[in-house]
A and B are shown apart, each in its own frame.
Chain A
Amino acid sequence: MREFAGEKNILIKQELKRIETTIMNTITVNGKEYPQSESRSLMAVFNELEITPKQMAVELNGEIIPRDALENTPINAGDTIEIIQFVGGG
């Protein structure tokens, strides 16, 4: 795979972030940190953010989570969640 400038640095930063957020007991959703106070599901995160996961894709630590698995997917401190939606594009 071709490497782009700074790609290795990005991976190191991601790993540091994971360690930091685990210690700080937070999770990262779309680049923003949120407290991880109690054990909960991925669906609970959506509810807290007031987002309906319709026509959206979810990645947990880089793995796609099917919509029907959101309820049964537990979230832990240090996790990184990406929530993706469709926008206009050519």
Chain B
Amino acid sequence: MKSLTIAGRTFNSRLFIGTGKFGSHDIMRQAIESSGSELVTVALRRVDLDKEPENDPLISKLDQDKIVIVPNTSGARTAEEAVRIARLARAAGGFDWIKLELTPNLHHLLPDPIETLKATEILVKEGFIVMPYMNADPVLAKRLEEAGAAVVMPLAAPIGTNLGLRNKDMIQIIIDNSQVPVVVDAGLGMPSHVAEAIEMGADFVLINTAIAAAANPVKMANAFAKAIAAAEEAMEAGPRAPQSAASASSPLTGFLWSK
């Protein structure tokens, strides 16, 4: 297994958590803490001046000594917009990690590969640690890696669908060829999906909706963490490769067929 390091930072958990859709900041914090996740994503939005100023901002709920905060560029449709968001994130909180999310079509929210590559090239030059969300295209993964992306983040299925590993074969090719860590992102809905991704050799998974929109997000975050632990342990245990023919687990010799 590749070491769980991104841009010099070592992680003790393969679970990354998106902070959207949680019922409250406290539930979000509890879910993150109890799952052991050490990287979370956040988004940037205009301050709503019609509401009371929030004295308890999201970021203050996260222990930055333990957790890497990665702003995303959600809402951006072009490289230019994504670069603007990245620079704003850096200005707002000094964050150098950025998850590129360039989704021109609000219906399927699939990422624009050309704008994502352009934004990666620009932001890498500006010293950002770039984590591009991308369709599960092995050629694009290579191009992003060559452009200096710190990881590649192929999507399992469209954002928020909980459909699981629909792009499994393409993600396997990406895993087999990647020189940078692979983070399977988007569409993972159940712990079994995550276990499968880790068994395939993925380095990390990113979960948001499946945890945040569960009836009990803290419990669900723990379930995902356990699935990852189980898959990791299985991989360390050295699984036997699948065989095409049956091979008996019990001895067939004995008294039944003897003359």
Q: List the interface of chain A (C-beta within 8 A of B).
A: 1-2, 4, 29-32, 49-52, 54-59, 64, 66-67, 82-90
Q: List the interface of chain B (C-beta within 8 A of A).
A: 18-22, 28, 41-50, 53-55, 57-60, 71-72, 74, 77-78, 80, 87-89, 91-93, 104, 115, 159-160, 186, 206, 208-209, 212
Cα-based distance from A84 to B28 in the complex (angstroms): 21
**Residue of A50, A52, A56 with most partner-chain B CB within 10 A:** A56
Main secondary structure of the interface of B (DSSP, over half): mixed
From B18, B93, B104, contact of A55 by CB (8 A): B93
Cα-based distance from A82 to B92 in the complex (angstroms): 12
Q: How far is the CB of A4 from chain B (nearest CB, A)?
A: 6
CB neighbours (8 Å) of A32 from chain B are 49-50
CB pair A88–B58 under 8 Å, yes or no, is yes
* Chain B residue at minimum C-beta to C-beta distance from A90: B18
Q: How far is the CB of B185 from chain A (nearest CB, A)?
A: 8
From B55, B58, B104, B160, contact of A87 by CB (8 A): B58
From B18, B47, B72, B74, contact of A56 by CB (8 A): B47
CB pair B93–A86 under 8 Å, yes or no, is yes
CB pair B46–A86 under 8 Å, yes or no, is no
Beyond the given pairs A2-B115, A30-B47, A64-B87, 7 more chain A to chain B contacts, judged by CB atoms under 8 angstroms and listed by A's residue number, are A52-B53, A54-B57, A83-B49, A85-B54, A86-B57, A87-B42, A89-B74
CB pair A90–B74 under 8 Å, yes or no, is yes
Q: How far is the CB of A70 from chain B (nearest CB, A)?
A: 11
Q: How far is the CB of B58 from chain A (nearest CB, A)?
A: 5
CB neighbours (8 Å) of B48 from chain A are 30
CB neighbours (8 Å) of B19 from chain A are 88-90
CB neighbours (8 Å) of A85 from chain B are 44-47, 54, 57, 92
A51-B53, A86-B92 known; A4 vs B77 contact (CB < 8 Å)? yes
CB neighbours (8 Å) of A51 from chain B are 47, 53
* Chain A residue at minimum C-beta to C-beta distance from B47: A83
CB pair B93–A2 under 8 Å, yes or no, is no
CB neighbours (8 Å) of B41 from chain A are 89-90
CB pair B21–A88 under 8 Å, yes or no, is yes
CB pair B78–A82 under 8 Å, yes or no, is no
* Chain B residue at minimum C-beta to C-beta distance from A32: B49
Cα-based distance from A57 to B88 in the complex (angstroms): 6
CB pair A55–B60 under 8 Å, yes or no, is yes
Cα-based distance from A54 to B93 in the complex (angstroms): 8
**Residue of A55, A59, A89 with most partner-chain B CB within 10 A:** A89
**Residue of A51, A82, A84 with most partner-chain B CB within 10 A:** A84
CB neighbours (8 Å) of A83 from chain B are 46-47, 49
* Chain A residue at minimum C-beta to C-beta distance from B93: A55
CB neighbours (8 Å) of B80 from chain A are 1
CB pair A4–B104 under 8 Å, yes or no, is yes
Q: How far is the CB of A30 from chain B (nearest CB, A)?
A: 5
* Sample of 15 A–B contacts (CB below 8 Å): A4-B104, A30-B46, A32-B49, A49-B53, A55-B59, A55-B92, A83-B47, A84-B92, A85-B92, A86-B42, A86-B44, A88-B28, A88-B43, A89-B41, A89-B44
